[in-house]
Structure 1
């Protein structure tokens, strides 16, 4: 495990768009948030580019990622937004460059593919958390979500309990392991690739947006048949926003989750506000966590040193 160095006042964060074009207006509105924390902000040269549904060509998006990891004046990298496209560049990334220049890397949604690829190729701990154009620049961005960035400035253990949101036990137990995962549909697209999600002995986080129960069912079934739930030490069920079925003849999301997890004989808790939601509880991926259904808690070790 490779832990990135904490941020301090005067440091510079670099902003990249490795997936779809971000909302540039919201991105610019988010910059003062970081400046108020004493940070400088450098926007990647290719962030404002577009290439169809992508934020520039694969080469342009890859260049910003490489340049900012290599640049010694950049102390952390935060993604402007998600969407689609990170998987297209995953097998062209110079992972030795990242391993030799470890630093904070933060984002979620489509960024899940990069979280998995970077962690499994380099051992670097990364962060699943809100982004500039998608979240921080919006008027609805809340104080609880803002506070999650404090973990980048000092090593701190995180504890998620029911003071943040109600949690529901699907399968009882307690287990510890490295936290992995993220967006469910992106985890499924990793199956059969060089970056297939490794869940053995790990706590698997899943979340998604805009997917009806029948789609979530198909995603979970693929992970089940690939042995990902059997391998996992436990499952952290994050937020599944905009998941209501559009047809009357449909299983509910709860019914789908119970089908796959109720008899898993390992801890599974749902209700975590982790994902496409506000408040958004940001967490490090790659550090050790403990999931306990008796206490309904998730505790997580620091993601910086």
Structure 2
């Protein structure tokens, strides 16, 4: 495990768009927040590129990623947004470059592919947190979401309890393990690739957006058949925004789907965490030790920086 160095006021953070084109106006508004944190901003050369549903050509998005890790004056890398596209550049990433230049890497959603590929290839702890254009630059960005950036400036043990949101136990138990995972559809897309998520003995975080119950059913069914759920130490169910049928056909509910696959597990499973496409968005480091307990309805996570 490699912990990136903490941020300090006056440091520079790099901004990249490794997936889909971000909303540029919202991205610019997010810089106000970053400057309030006391950091400077360096924008990747291709952040404003548009190539259909991609933020520029694969080689250009890859170039921005490499450039920010290589630049000794950049201390953290924030993703502008998600959408689609990070899986297309995963095989071309210079993971040795990242391992030699470990630094804070922050994002979620489609960035899940990069979180897991980078961690499994380098050991670097990365951060599942709100993105600049998609979240920070929008009106009404939540105060708790803003506070979560403070974990980058000082090593902090994070405590998620029902003080933040109601939590519901799906399966009883208590466990300690490395927190991994992220967006469920991205975890599924990594199956059968060199970056397939390793879950054995780990606490698996899942979340998603705009997926109907039958789609979530299919993803969880695949993870079940692949042994990814049974081998985990525990499961943290984050936010599943808009997980409702889009037509009038009969459908199971999200809760019914989750119960079918997760209640049978002999490991702790808790749902209701505001982690994902939601406000507030409780940002968490991935790759650090965490403790999940149904007894206390809590998730305790070790610091993600040194």
1:222-280 deviation line (CA, Å, top 9, x unaligned): 01111100110000000000111233410000000000011201100000000000000
Q: How many angstroms apart in 2 are the aligned matches of 1:253 and 1:8?
A: 42
Aligned counterpart, 2:275: 274
Aligned counterpart, 2:40: 40
Q: How many angstroms apart in 1 are the aligned matches of 2:134 and 2:103?
A: 22
Q: How many angstroms apart in 2 are the aligned matches of 1:98 and 1:171?
A: 38
1:183-232 deviation line (CA, Å, top 9, x unaligned): 00000000000000000100000000000100000000001111100110
Aligned counterpart, 2:218: 218
Pairing 1:158–2:154 present: no
Aligned counterpart, 1:264: 265
Pairing 1:297–2:302 present: no
In the TM superposition, structure 1's runs of 4+ consecutive aligned residues that sit over 3 Å from their partners are none
5+ residue gaps in structure 2? none
1:150-203 deviation line (CA, Å, top 9, x unaligned): 000000100000010000000000001000000000000000000000001000
Q: How many angstroms apart in 2 are the aligned matches of 1:223 and 1:273?
A: 22
How does 1:99-248 map onto structure 2 within 5 Å?
99-246=99-246, 247-248=248-249
1:74-129 deviation line (CA, Å, top 9, x unaligned): 00000000000000000000000000000000000000000000000000000000
**TM-score, normalisation: structure 2:** 0.99
Q: How many angstroms apart in 1 are the aligned matches of 2:50 and 2:223?
A: 33
Aligned counterpart, 1:49: 49
Q: How many angstroms apart in 1 are the aligned matches of 2:262 and 2:60?
A: 41
Tell me how many residue pairs correspond in the alignment: 305
**TM-score, normalisation: structure 1:** 0.99
Aligned counterpart, 1:13: 13
Q: How many angstroms apart in 2 are the aligned matches of 1:299 and 1:24?
A: 35
5+ residue gaps in structure 1? none
Give the RMSD, CA atoms, in angstroms: 0.5
Aligned counterpart, 1:66: 66
Q: How many angstroms apart in 2 are the aligned matches of 1:179 and 1:142?
A: 24
Q: How many angstroms apart in 1 are the aligned matches of 2:142 and 2:121?
A: 34
Q: How many angstroms apart in 1 are the aligned matches of 2:221 and 2:78?
A: 32
Q: How many angstroms apart in 2 are the aligned matches of 1:38 and 1:143?
A: 17
1:116-149 deviation line (CA, Å, top 9, x unaligned): 0000000000000001110000112011100000
How does 1:72-83 map onto structure 2 within 5 Å?
72-83=72-83
Q: How many angstroms apart in 2 are the aligned matches of 1:302 and 1:85?
A: 29
Q: How many angstroms apart in 1 are the aligned matches of 2:263 and 2:209?
A: 22
